[in-house]
A and B are shown apart, each in its own frame.
Chain A
Amino acid sequence: MSFDPHREDYQRLGLRFARSLDGQDPASATRAFAGFNRRFSQNRDSLPQSDADRAFHLVAEATTLIDYELPFATDEQAEELIDKGHLLLDEAIALDPHCHDAIRMKIAAESPSFESYYDFLARTADDVRAQCEEARANARDESPERASLEADIAMRPYYRWLATQAGKAVICGRNREAIRIGETLLELDPQDAADVRFTCAIAYAKLEDEAGLDRFAARTKPLVRAGTDDAWMQLSRISLAHKRHDMAEARRLLTRLVDTYPHASTALTSQKELPDGVFARLAVAPFSEDELILAISEGTVLLQEGRDDAGRGVLGTWIVRQTGLAPQGGTPR
């Protein structure tokens, strides 16, 4: 699911526009709304919006540059993209000093270490929560549907905050913290828009807490997509089997992962480590090759553990050895 900032930008303006039509007769309201899409894409400034809406739009643009274009840029382009992205974020914060997404993204770039970024997120999380909850409380809309969407949008910056904090906790080696933060988020948002359960699965594997992961999986079962475990859960299960030296089971689970995702052998052999999305985990299609690549990248903490001459980590090396036996390149399944 993840967060698509452009969709959220659209939702924000759509909500405000819809509200501006309240009181009009249904026919003219329908007519006016028909023009919304065109105005959104071509003449945004003609739509009613607050400074916070404008700031969020800049965040969406910065996200495109930093999360989606930067990884594919040449070194020269990279600097320009970063500069542009940061100008957008600065502008967003100038427009809306409570633009938590922009603040979080700025600090991500400015923090000298995972530790200091995590520290910042942890220190300020309660304030962010209070401000988001205040925004949610102010959300009053005549239509219950719109009210609920508005309330949800008001909380999303905090959801992203917690999801980022949980991800960084794992990287910092704080797996119990990661699970605690994930649980807070799941309680607030049982639908788990942030997919923080993926991060929790990895943290349970790091703690080698198989019973804990079983309970967690049972509780989050309604969120399982298409009746199939996601790559994060599957990697965690592979890691746990490997860690308890049940190699036959680890092999069986690895085969299942290869069967779940297209071109899985390639992704599992190259084990790319990508920069995390600074806005949120990159939005990719469920069960796509890209999703597996993301999961493997986040699963680096599982793959690259232990003493290993090749520098891939013990599990990473084992996986390469196993997938080396499968036909190279893999076939989409």
Chain B
Amino acid sequence: MNLHEELMERLARRRSNKLGGLSPAAYAELLLSVRENPQDYVDDASDQAFFLLVQAAERVFASRRDDEFRDDEQFMQERSRRMERLRRDCAEALATAPESAHARLFSVLAADNEPDDQLDALLELDRALAAERGPLTAPESGDAWHDVFLRGRMRVTAAISRTCLDSARYRMSNEHGQALLAASPSDPLGARHTCALCLARLEDEEGFEALDARFGRRGDSWQQLGRVLLFYKLGRMPAARRALAGFDQLCEGGGYALLRPIMVDTYLPDRPSAEPYSFEEVTLAVHEADPIICDVPDLCTWASGQGDFAEHARAFAERNGFGW
């Protein structure tokens, strides 16, 4: 998700709400002028906080760009330095607008706690937001995402769903993910990806297929990986082999991503966007599925033994100059 663009939308929407009844053309005009001088349009504390958070996130992303050139120790040092900075930035945003859902969410994420503690904090935040603002439901437009001011709460739910997965609470993860899908059927936050992995982990074939059908069987790295996990776990090996072949063919460098998992840093606050079936996407899918993959201890050994799977992975590594 482009946070900077979202800030523009927030500022324009806030101003437009204040002015009332802008025509689409007038709104487009307003948006252009917001983009030119956003600072001029910040007259709300929560927008100011959002502004600070966008800058903070951009600083983190910029610092991450060099991570691949750092050795482990340098990386850990740099990471702890930037998380420290992020915590200070979040504190500032929170001081600016204590009621801001984004400032509160970023603060929880920046605390960088173990999943159990992070989940406690997120659930508390979710309860507080529900008490302050009522339940998160789909607005009349049919999709909560269309209301830019609901996005903070949606992100809290998405983070709860992912943190549930990280803390081995798969049913709960799926429930929160499904609640988000109900509020926002277009699912720009990708709650369906978390759900797909959880349903595979729970060996819930019916739920998995229903989710896939709901999104028109568009397919993505999570679905492909989930399918491998699901059928392997159900002991349906011919189906598992077909799913693995599909994963190998469709997901660029999928074998490499599965057999040589790459570290992915904290989502801030959203999953980074990636093209369907790209190497970036399958890397995210494997990273998110890590607790589930570890729970199937022989999966990678089995996969390596299937046809050319390992060979494709090695060739991908060679083509891209990755270690094998």
Contacts and interface: CB of A to CB of B under 8 A. Distances in A.
B203 interface: yes
A207 B202 contact: yes
B233 interface: yes
B80 to A, nearest CB: 13
A175 B114 contact: no
B119 interface: yes
A222 B291 CA distance: 36
Contacts of A330: none
Interface in B280-297: 290-291, 295-297
Contacts of B296: 172-173
Nearest to B169: A243
A219 interface: no
Interface of A: 113-115, 122, 169, 171-177, 207-208, 242-245, 301, 305-309, 313-315, 317-318
Contact of B202 (A208, A315, A317, A318): A208
Contacts of A317: 114, 116
A301 B301 CA distance: 19
B172 interface: yes
B252 interface: no
A242 B119 CA distance: 12
A31 to B, nearest CB: 56
Given A208-B202, A307-B291, A317-B116, A113 B167 contact: no
A316 to B, nearest CB: 10
B171 interface: yes
A173 B292 CA distance: 9
B302 interface: yes
Contacts of A114: 297-298
Contact of A177 (B123, B172, B234, B301): B234
Contacts of A242: 169
Given A175-B203, A308-B114, A308-B115, A243 B234 contact: no
Given A115-B302, A172-B296, A243-B171, A207 B119 contact: no
| Residue of B115, B123, B290 with most chain A CB atoms under a 10 A cut-off | B115
B91 interface: no
Interface of B: 114-116, 119, 123, 164, 166-172, 202-203, 232-235, 290-291, 295-299, 301-302
Contacts of B291: 305-307
Contact of A172 (B171, B290, B298): B298
Contact of B119 (A113, A169, A176, A245): A245
B168 A314 contact: yes
B168 A315 contact: yes
A306 B297 contact: no
Given A115-B298, A173-B296, A245-B123, 10 more contacts: A113-B298, A171-B297, A173-B295, A175-B203, A207-B203, A208-B169, A242-B169, A244-B172, A306-B291, A307-B115
A176 to B, nearest CB: 5
A306 B197 CA distance: 13
A314 B115 contact: yes
Contacts of A177: 234-235
A173 B202 CA distance: 10
Contacts of B295: 173, 301, 305
Nearest to A313: B168
Contacts of A174: 203, 233-235
Nearest to A208: B171
B301 A113 contact: yes
A305 B292 CA distance: 8
A34 B203 CA distance: 56
A169 to B, nearest CB: 8
A303 to B, nearest CB: 10
Nearest to B297: A114
Nearest to B288: A307
Contacts of A308: 114-115
A114 B115 CA distance: 29
Nearest to B232: A173
Contacts of A305: 168, 291, 295
Contact of A307 (B167, B232, B234): B167
A308 B202 CA distance: 20
The 10 closest A-B pairs by CB, nearest first: A306-B168, A173-B296, A305-B168, A115-B298, A208-B171, A307-B166, A314-B167, A243-B169, A113-B298, A177-B235
A174 B169 CA distance: 17
Contacts of A207: 202-203
A160 B110 CA distance: 51
Contacts of A115: 298, 301-302
B231 to A, nearest CB: 11
